Homo-oligomer: A and B are copies of this chain.
Amino acid sequence: MLTKQELEEFWAEAGKIYLNHISIDCVVFGFHEGQMKVLMLKSNNEEAWYLPGGFVLKQEPIENAADRILKERTGIDEIFLQQFYVFGDPDRSKIHNEMYKDMLPEDQNFFAKRFISIGYYALVDFFNVTPTPDNFSEICTWRDLNDLPRFQLDHELIFKTALDTLRLQLNYQPIGYNLMPKEFTMPELQKLYETILDKKLDRRNFQRRMLGFGILNKLETTRKGGAHKAPYLYSFDLENYQAALKEGLKSGW
Is A39 located at the chain interface by the 8 A CB criterion?
no
Report A169 CB to chain B, min CB distance, Å. Answer: 9
* Interface contact A248-B88, CB-CB below 8 Å: no
CB proximity to B under 8 Å, residues A9-44: 19-22
Say which one of A55-63, A125-133, A215-223 lies at the interface with B. A55-63
Question: Inside 8 A of A172's CB, which chain B residues have their CB?
Answer: 168, 171-172
**Total identical chains:** 2
Number of A interface residues in the complex (CB < 8 A): 32
Question: Inside 8 A of A251's CB, which chain B residues have their CB?
Answer: 171, 251
Report if A90-B253 is in contact (Cβ < 8 Å); known contacts: A22-B21, A116-B22.
no
Report if A90-B114 is in contact (Cβ < 8 Å); known contacts: A83-B85, A168-B172.
no
Question: Inside 8 A of A197's CB, which chain B residues have their CB?
Answer: 253
Is A193 located at the chain interface by the 8 A CB criterion?
yes
Docked complex Cα distance between A170 and B107 (Å):
47
* Interface contact A252-B88, CB-CB below 8 Å: no
Is A118 located at the chain interface by the 8 A CB criterion?
yes
Is A86 located at the chain interface by the 8 A CB criterion?
yes
* Interface contact A19-B59, CB-CB below 8 Å: no
Which A residues are within 8 Å of any B CB, using their own CB?
19-22, 56, 58-63, 65, 83, 85-86, 88-90, 114, 116, 118, 168, 170-172, 193, 197, 201, 248, 251-253
